[in-house]
Amino acid sequence: MTPHMLTRSLDRGATMFLAIVAACGILIPLSNLLLPAGSFFQVPTYLVALWGKYVCYAILALSIDLIWGYCGILSLGHGAFFALGGYAMGMYLMRQIGTRGVYGNPILPDFMVFLNYPKLPWYWHGFDMFWFAALMVLLVPGLLAFCFGWLAFRSRVTGVYLSIITQAMTYALLLAFFRNDFGFGGNNGLTDFKDILGFNVQAEGTRAALFMLSCLGLIVSFLICRAVVSSKLGKVLIAIRDAESRSRFFGYRVESYKLFVFTLSACMAGVAGALYVPQVGIINPSEFAPGNSIEAVIWVAVGGRGTLVGAALGAVVVNYAKTFFTSGVLAPYWLFMLGALFILVTLLLPKGIVGTFNAWRESSSEKRAAASAAAEGGITEPNMAE
Amino acid sequence: MFLIAFAVPAFAGPFEDAVAKFANDDFSDTDEAIGAVASSGNKLAFPIISALQDGRLMADPDSKKVYVTGSDGKSIDAATGEPVASVPDSASAVRLNNRLRRSVDAALGSLTLQSPDLATRLQAAQSVFKSHEESALEPVDAALAKETSKSVKVALGEARAAILLFKPDATEVEKLEAVATIRARGDQEALALLTGMGDQPALVAKAAASAIGSIQSSLAVWSTVQNAWYGLSLGSVLLLAAIGLAITFGVMGVINMAHGEMVMIGAYTTFVVQEVIRTRYPGLFDYSLLIAVPLAFLVAGAIGVVIERGIIRFLYGRPLETLLATWGLSLVLQQEVRTMFGPTNREVGNPSWMSGAFELGQITITYNRLWILCFTLAVFAILLAMLRYTALGLEMRAVTQNRRMAASMGIATSRVDALTFGLGSGIAGIAGVALSQIDNVSPNLGQSYIIDSFMVVVFGGVGNLWGTLVGAFTLGIANKFLEPVAGAVLGKIAILVLIILFIQKRPRGLFALKGRAVEA
């Protein structure tokens, strides 16, 4: 099997993935809007919102796979970047409420009136403009990741130490955002949104458009990740993942590579959060909970780390299962299942669904190649999956 | 008036005369009666005056009889103390105005100053100290003359000093003495008294200013001591929670995210032990913790061994996967406990020898915190000794330092792994017994300690028990000294940020292992 064939087969998977996402992104909103309600093929609005949520989670999973699967950085704090992006979007949506809030204050959001803020805190300025909020969605998580990564990677904090301090980071943010005087709505977070860019967030059309945008976001994120990992940069990242010290001795500036990919990944997580908030209609500090970030990591593990497609698939599969089980009589057992999933996947399926599938296909095609090579007296190439 | 005086029965003494005056329905007569009754020394004086205060003193204007109606509805004759069947319908409650209410308060104050109960006397003296009413001077002097208990005498002396300070016609010598007495008391209330006493002669003001300075500096010292004590207490809790992790993570290198759940299991073991004792052997309640400690060690330790054999041994050398698998395990354990014991807090009681507190200077030390500190240090010492002096400890260290060499020397490394993990988990279980005394026993108990525990171990330096000890107490004390400045939550955030920054500076903690172990 030649490397050329391998890239082509991966490309086939990637193309298929993109085609499916694009098809969903177009067909689901269309069926929701155009077909009459109650029709067999009509997707109800609540499902559009639900699947929109899954797509956002898939973007988050992609961002984790980019750093964990390809660079070996296990971040247990990616939920923080997701939530920060969400808060930036939430702040824009809060400013759009205007006088329609309970207290009818044109400038201050309801919770600020309630908590006796004399005026808008400085960091809320500018969020009435969409372009500014959109910029912040990228900038705030990116900047935090840059500073955090700059400190961490430069002093060579690696492996579990990095995981633990990323967890501490999101925990510290959780505590901070819970505070009322922090200026982000405290315990209740930001909610009760009305408009986004002049459209009602509750309207079917807006929901369909948001779903379409989320799918577009997933496609763009996927393409960016593919571009990164299939470039020379991506090869260096994989080298860092597999032998960090050796890559450093070869003369690569390991910390710069890590810093770049970590920041990129945080920006992607921020975008995922920003798309997530208008669809679920609320953002509160519990998004910072360390448990959420770890759960996102398990999506990637289930789907298959280092496969990109697998990460997105894992996010959708695990969250679909979560919705399915927590809404029925099996609800008390969901945590058992989630816990068992963590254990079983790490023990029995370390490559995840997609990774195992790829390995199985490779080994079967290798067998065929070996059979024909034996006939011709050739040699087989080493397995590249590990 | 004249006629009424004659109408009083001839056998009456001064006390009975005074009591009868309550029936006159005249405010100045009532005032006299209060003074006479309060100074009579009769054992009925206190019930009468307190009944007057509560509107339970009934007087019959026709017969001039006065009755005390108890809160239970039964009545006695106020003059004789004889129980009466019922109060006549013509009787009504003796009325008070504001001036009389002050007299009643003063009379009650002086009566309780001489109460036979020591605690009541002490409390009365304290309340006089706070109110420092000039009218209380005489009763205080009288009480001081009769008082035998040393502590009450001191309190009365302070009360007297407080009164004199605010008495306009007290001499300068008296006031100077008073300032000295209050200065010796030296607490927050003394400070408030001195700062609030207004214009004084120059000499007294000077003495007061110096007393204020000395009290403030001594209070600052005490508040530092108090913070240090709180810090030690928090540090001991952190150490207790982290010490098991120092074995599993520090010595073995296993990232055990289910560590907090081992602590929780220990706490629930305590709950079960106490339940059994409550229902079967109530007399043993004070020993419940002594029984729970070995049981919790065994239960959590056994679960730990099962976890190591069942999950963790397949994941050696893959720390990130271990992290995920043990996180999943923690979810399962939490949910299991939630299904078995319910999601709400379970009540675990304090044995008598762990409840209560004592005063040390200006700070209060509760027994449970003190015991936990001692217990933690004992566990630490035992663990250290075990690692150093027992065969298992030797084997553990050998396997940690060089697994293959240890195996070549005939050590069953996989058995040592299982036992080490069991030991770490068992110690977490013991920690749960202690933490059940100060924290809510709920399925989420472990969650609240896991991040802190990791911080302590990472901060102190992985693979070093002394590092864990120093790390825990440093973080505990730093946290408590930051708290008054920044508030509880901000203090905690500040600590987390400081640790994150600290790890940048020293990625391997305070006391890092050096040499080959670093890359392993």
pLDDT score for B139 = 76
Task: Find out whether A141 and A267 touch, Cβ atoms under 8 Å.
Answer: yes
Among B255, B325, B496, select the one facing A171 at the smallest CB separation.
B496
- Residue among A220, A217, A191, A212 nearest A57 (CA): A217
Contact B315 A164 (CB under 8 A): no
Enumerate the domain spans of chain A. Answer: 3-350
Q: Is B488 on the interface with A (CB under 8 A)?
A: no
Measured between CA atoms, the residue of chain A closest to residue B336 is A336
Residues of chain A with pLDDT under 50: 1-3, 5-6, 8-9, 378-386
Residue B49 has pLDDT above 90, yes or no: no
What is the C-alpha to C-alpha distance for residues B252 and B247, in angstroms, rounded to an integer?
7
* The pLDDT of residue A386: 40
> B180 versus A4: which is more confidently predicted?
B180
- Candidate from A168, A172, A343 with C-beta closest to B311: A343
CA-based end-to-end distance of chain B: 104
Place of tokens 């994941």: B315
pLDDT mean over B176-193: 81
The partner residues of B58 in beta bridges, in order of sequence, read: B67, B93
* More confident: B204 or B416: B416
Q: Tell me which chain B residue has its CA closest to the CA of residue A151.
A: B504
List of chain A residues whose C-beta atoms are within 8 Å of the C-beta of residue B336? 336
Ranges A183-192, B170-179, B289-298, B474-483: which has the least confidence: B170-179
> Residue B346 gets which letter from DSSP?
B
CA distance, residue B417 to nearest chain A CA (Å) = 18
pLDDT at A381: 47
For residue B300, pLDDT beyond 90? yes
Is some CB atom of chain A closer than 8 A to the CB atom of B378? no
* B402: nearest Cα among B317, B319, B520, B305: B520
The pLDDT of residue A312 is 94
Q: What is the mean pLDDT of residues B341-353?
A: 86
Q: What is the DSSP string of B406-431?
A: HHHTT--HHHHHHHHHHHHHHHHHHH
Percent of residues in chain A assigned helix, strand, coil, to nearest 5:
75, 0, 25
- CB contact B286 to A (< 8 Å): no
The reported pLDDT for the residue numbered A136 is 95
Q: How far is A139 from chain B (nearest CA, A)?
A: 21
Q: Which structure tokens are listed for B326?
A: 């043990």
Q: Which of A181, A193, A188 is nearest to A91 (CA)?
A: A193
**A197 exposure class (CB count in 10 Å sphere: 0-12, 13-18, 19+):** exposed
For residue B514, what pLDDT is reported? 56
Picking from B255, B311, B330, the nearest residue to A347 by CB comes out as B311
Q: Which residues of B touch A156 (CB under 8 A)?
A: 507
Confidence of residue B5 (pLDDT cuts 50, 70, 90): very low
Chain B residue numbers with beta carbons less than 8 Å from the beta carbon of A167 are 451, 454
Give Cβ neighbours of residue A278 (< 8 Å, ≥ 6 apart): A89, A93, A193, A196, A201, A206, A210
Instruction: Decide: B172 and B201 in contact? Cβ < 8 Å.
Output: yes
**A292 alpha carbon, distance to own chain's centre:** 12
> Under 8 Å CB-to-CB from B125, ≥6 apart: which residues?
B113, B140, B143, B152, B155, B156, B158, B159
| Residue bearing the bigger pLDDT, B301 or A38 | B301
Strands B57-60 and A282-283: unpaired
Residue with token string 């409390």? B123
Of the candidates A255, A95, A67, A70, the residue with the CA atom closest to the CA atom of residue A166: A67
CA distance B319 to chain A (A): 7
Please list, in sequence order, all residues whose beta carbon lies within 8 angstroms of the beta carbon of residue A257, skipping any fewer than 6 positions away: A71, A233, A236, A237, A240
The closest of B192, B316, B272, B224 to B432, measured between CA atoms, is: B272
Distance from CA of A96 to the nearest CA of B (A): 31
Distances (CA, A) of B405 to B397, B408, B410, B474: 12, 5, 9, 36
Reported as a pLDDT band with limits 50, 70 and 90, residue B9 is: very low
- Residues of chain A in contact with residue B333, where contact means CB-CB under 8 angstroms, are 339
How far apart, in Å, do the first and last CA atoms of chain A sit? 15
Interchain CB distance below 8 Å, B501 and A332:
no
Measured on CA atoms in the order B45, B46, B47, B48, is the torsion positive or negative? positive
pLDDT digits (tens, 9 = 90+) for B382-399: 999 998 999 999 998 888
Q: Binning pLDDT at 50, 70 and 90, where does residue B516 land?
A: very low
Q: Across the interface, do B329 and A342 touch by the CB < 8 Å criterion?
A: yes
Over chain B, what is the mean pLDDT?
A: 83
Distance from CA of A175 to the nearest CA of B (A): 7
**Nearest alpha-carbon partner for A164 in B499, B447, B315, B489:** B499
| Residues in A touching B507 (Cβ below 8 Å) | 155-157, 161
Distance from CA of B272 to the nearest CA of A (A): 23
- Which pLDDT does position B276 carry in this prediction? 92
* Confidence band for B310, pLDDT divided at 50, 70 and 90: very high
Higher-pLDDT residue of B9 and A260 is A260
Element (H, E) at A191: strand A190-191
User: DSSP readout, B234-277?
Assistant: HHHHHHHHHHHHIIIIIIT----TTHHHHHHHHHHHHHHHHHHH
Looking at the predicted structure, is the pLDDT value of residue B430 above 90?
yes
Note whether A176 contacts B455, CB cutoff 8 Å: no
State whether residue B334 sits within 8 Å of chain A by CB. Answer: yes
